[in-house]
Chain A
Amino acid sequence: MLGLKKADLRLFLIVVGLVVFAPFLLNPFPESVGMAQFNAGYPDLMQKLVIFGIFAVGYNILFGLTGYLSFGHAAFLGVGSYSGVWMMKLLTMNVIPALIVSVIAAGLFSLLIGYVSLRRTGIYFSILTLAFAQMCYSLAYSVLTPITGGETGLTLSLSDPRILGAAQAADGNIPAAHIFGLGMGESAELVLGDWSFTFNVGYYLSGIVMLVAFYLAIRLFRSPFGLMLRAIKSNQTRMSYTGLNPRPYALAAFVISGMYAGLAGGLMVAMDPLAGAERMLWTASGEVVLMTILGGAGTLIGPILGAGVIVYLESIISTINSSVLHGWFNALPDWLENTLVNIMYPFVGSGWHLTLGLVFMLVVIFLPGGIVEGGKRIAGVFKRNRAEPSGDIKKSAEPGE
């Protein structure tokens, strides 16, 4: 079905299920208990989970398949964001033109940067992309302020033309982003006893876009073109000796992943119409590398899982403060409570980077193939237990790719 093999189709359906039922899955704790701190089922976070999923899936097409380690992908995300906001300023608050133009703008921009950077491989390529991204950041932060809004970021205003839509809403405010009249911020709430689940229009739009992007990525992975990209990773010299020029393939992969980044950037401003320069900072570029490696580079679902883990950690761990910790250990004797809080405090709140670093280290040391490898090992244990006599060990020892 859908031109996918059975295993791929199953994976795709799992992702569809996750996206559709995320409002339930991410809100497992009732609102009144202390664990509600860990609930992630509110629109902002759910939107970010899928949007960064798109970003990481796209990055994986470059890094996972061709092995080119780009440290500048945040620049394309930023370009996508800025062009998205400009479309909302000039044309209409409908998000469709914004999304289309973000993808096109990021594609053209990545063509330019890719054409220059791909003259080199390995560490030199990484440094070149990093340099370009930092340049874009500095330009956006100060020099190009009339276009980018500088440090404040590019925002909508009442005096924007918006030639295809209304410049002002009926109540005299800036109209909200919408898709054919359905506002991105609109939500429905379902209250079941102590639980409350939020179904947000913006989230489901991002979710659908993410599923399409994921589907295209699967098709690309399984296509002859994907095979060419893998050939670049395994041995570029051998590839050229067989009479194939690797550069057009690498450039195509670079542009495709740039367009994915642009799509993610466009979706971000569709959900929250402001584009800030720090979106292009090198730490943002580094984050998508972490997401891909953490989930499992070169695997299909890995980047989505990696993006999920990092975005979740950032949003949830960083909001835990010392009074929340004290609340958890209230029942314990005072000295024990204080010791536990003191031990845990450096890892929460503004110290969430420390937690992320630990998780990342553990994964890289013990599971070089990322979360996906962890899942495979667990699955392998169960499989072996069930089918011990048939000796199915060889299969689980296959490389994670």
Chain B
Amino acid sequence: MSKGNFTRRSMLMASATTGAALAMPTIFSSAVWADGHTGFTNAPGDSSVTLGFNVPQTGAYADEGADELRAFRLAVAHLNGEGDGGMLNTFSSTVLDGTGIMGRRVEYVTGDTQTASDAARSSARSMIERDGAIMISGGSSSGVAVAVQSLCQDAGVIFMAGLTHANDTTGKDMRANGFRHFFNTEMTGRALAPILEGLYGTDRKVYHLTADYNWGWSQERSIRAYTEGLGWETINSVLTPVGAGDFSSYLTPVANSGADVLILNHYGGDMVNSLTQAVQFGLRDMQANGKNFEIVVPLFSRLMARGAGSAIANIHGSTNWHWSLQDAGSQAFVRSFGTEYGFPPSQAAHTCYVQTLLYADAVTRGGSFNPCAVVEALEGFEFDGMGNGPTLYRADDHQCFKDVLVVRGKENPENEYDLLEIVEVTPRADVTYPVDHPDFAEGQLGTCNPGA
């Protein structure tokens, strides 16, 4: 150890140096050398604007991610006036004319969320800081959506959420710079409950298997609230680890539990495995309490249905959108997607495509890329022609309110894409919940942040 020899001179010199070092960044940031700042983060130049698409390219939701990326590419092509224009022709707002956004050509960068909050934030940060992205979109998990949404709020860019179904995204963790077009578990509960009542009556005993994370709990809470409202009794609820792979040890006790309905609050690969195994166990052919044993999957998607194969026959669930819808918007989108890639789009692709167009439209109507102008243009925006009927972006929580589909697995699918059939289109009025709903409490939007 050396002896310290502090003299007054060295003290003064040291403190002066430290002071200068601390002041350095302030000198730099005094905008003398900085250029291109026009009051908000990543203001685009005159010729092009960059959007950031952050999707899972690896991990459990890679299928959804790949489909989202296809949709983003299609949306960018349509905005730039390439291809057949897709939903631009059916969208009720007509300010987009195929010349990019406000005359700037749309370019994009992509990132991999790996379905992990840290990785997603880091790839979003690199898109914002390195590539100058002015809007971030995509994702296939609520955890990631919440994490990236708060990052975008802090950085001062707009976040257009992709597939995220948990209530928290526009509930507890809502942010002013974030917008969600996808529906949520509360809407699933509201849409599914009347159908379940009609099919299975009011005297049922339910067993829940729930993915042990934010979305799973949210899903279980909503569906429990509504099934118990019907008079159904919840026998048991078991949390399963995400990515468990083998669910047999969770399914064995179900048969002798006295329950006659099994609700699988699973998504993606977990749902494929748990549903397939439940059917292999013979639960569907069982009788319990003098009734047929039933299985319900609250959140359905075509990609999952394909994974589960014949196990999905006659199983009910809800979904945000399905390609077999007959309205002009859905038809136009399915046509351009099919022409480009040779198969119909999934609901994840649909929501990402729509979100991109909605962003471009809001910028054009607001007349500026400034996030605060975009927020103002999107809040309370009422539109149609995007495949879900008349839709409202509610100003209080930045959640879209639109019709919800209740679907059923087809018994005899004609091809590998024709797996679900629509049982009921629950109208928007029935799935709209009040702003002060307890499951969405304690969230605050804050105010829009335009960044530097």
Contacts and interface: CB of A to CB of B under 8 A. Distances in A.
Nearest to A273: B154
Contact of A156 (B24, B117, B150): B150
A272 interface: yes
24 contacts: A3-B2, A141-B213, A142-B212, A142-B239, A151-B117, A151-B242, A152-B143, A152-B146, A153-B118, A155-B150, A156-B150, A157-B173, A173-B176, A174-B154, A182-B26, A187-B29, A188-B27, A188-B29, A189-B34, A199-B25, A272-B125, A272-B151, A274-B117, A319-B110
A152 B122 contact: no
A177 B239 CA distance: 36
Interface in A193-215: 198-199, 201, 204
A73 interface: no
A186 B30 CA distance: 11
B446 A174 contact: yes
Contact of A42 (B110, B126, B150, B172): B126
A40 to B, nearest CB: 9
A165 interface: no
Contact of A276 (B27, B118, B155, B444): B118
B121 A182 contact: no
Contacts of B147: 152-153, 155, 274, 276
A45 B127 CA distance: 11
Among B109, B129, B447, the most chain A Cβ lie within 10 Å of the Cβ of B129
Interface in B87-128: 109-112, 116-119, 121-123, 125-126
Interface in A37-52: 39, 42-45, 48
Given A171-B449, A172-B447, A199-B28, A44 B126 contact: yes
A278 B118 contact: yes
Contact of B25 (A142, A182, A272, A349): A182
Interface of A: 2-3, 39, 42-45, 48, 141-142, 150-153, 155-159, 168, 171-174, 176, 182, 185-191, 198-199, 201, 204, 272-274, 276, 278-279, 315, 318-319, 321, 349-350
Contacts of A279: 118
B444 A158 contact: yes
B215 to A, nearest CB: 8
Contact of A350 (B33, B58, B242): B58
Contacts of B447: 171-173
A313 B22 CA distance: 32
A350 B112 CA distance: 8
Interface string B32-73: 011100000000000000000000011000000000000000
Nearest to B109: A319
Nearest to B29: A188
Interface string B115-159: 011110111011001100000000000110011001101110000
A276 B29 contact: no
Contact of B28 (A155, A188, A318): A188
Interface in B221-265: 239, 241-242
Interface of B: 1-2, 22, 24-29, 33-35, 57-58, 109-112, 116-119, 121-123, 125-126, 129-130, 142-143, 146-147, 150-151, 153-155, 168, 172-173, 176, 212-214, 239, 241-242, 442, 444, 446-447, 449, 452
B25 A201 contact: yes
Contact of B122 (A48, A187, A189, A204): A48
Given A155-B146, A158-B446, A188-B29, A42 B116 contact: no
A42 B57 CA distance: 23
Contact of A155 (B1, B58, B112, B173): B173
A319 B111 contact: yes
Contacts of A318: 112
Nearest to B25: A201
Given A189-B34, A274-B121, 17 more contacts: A42-B129, A43-B125, A45-B126, A150-B143, A152-B142, A153-B143, A157-B173, A157-B444, A159-B444, A186-B25, A189-B35, A272-B121, A274-B151, A276-B116, A278-B118, A315-B122, A349-B57
A152 B147 CA distance: 7
Nearest to B18: A208
Contact of B155 (A157, A185, A191): A185
Contacts of B168: 152
A44 B129 contact: yes
A151 B214 contact: yes
Contacts of A190: 28, 33
A185 B451 CA distance: 10
A188 B25 contact: yes
A173 B153 contact: yes
B130 A39 contact: yes
B29 to A, nearest CB: 5
A158 B212 CA distance: 26
Contacts of B111: 319
B217 to A, nearest CB: 9
A44 B154 contact: no
Contacts of A319: 109-111, 123, 126
Nearest to A46: B129
Contacts of A153: 117-118, 143, 146-147
Contacts of B117: 151-153, 274, 276, 278
B444 A188 contact: no
A189 B33 contact: yes
Contact of A172 (B58, B130, B241, B446): B446
A158 B446 CA distance: 7
Given A150-B213, A185-B154, A350 B57 contact: yes
A278 B116 contact: yes
A155 B147 CA distance: 8
B105 to A, nearest CB: 16
Nearest to B145: A152
A156 B153 CA distance: 12
Nearest to A198: B129
Contacts of B119: 278
Contacts of A273: 154
Nearest to A199: B28
Nearest to B215: A151
B173 A152 contact: yes
Nearest to B450: A171
Nearest to B4: A3
Contacts of A204: 24-25
Contacts of A155: 146-147, 150, 173
A43 B446 CA distance: 26
Max count, chain B CB within 10 A of own CB: residue among A3, A274, A321 = A274
B77 to A, nearest CB: 14
Contacts of B442: 159
A142 B213 contact: yes
Contacts of B26: 182
A310 B270 CA distance: 32
Nearest to A274: B147
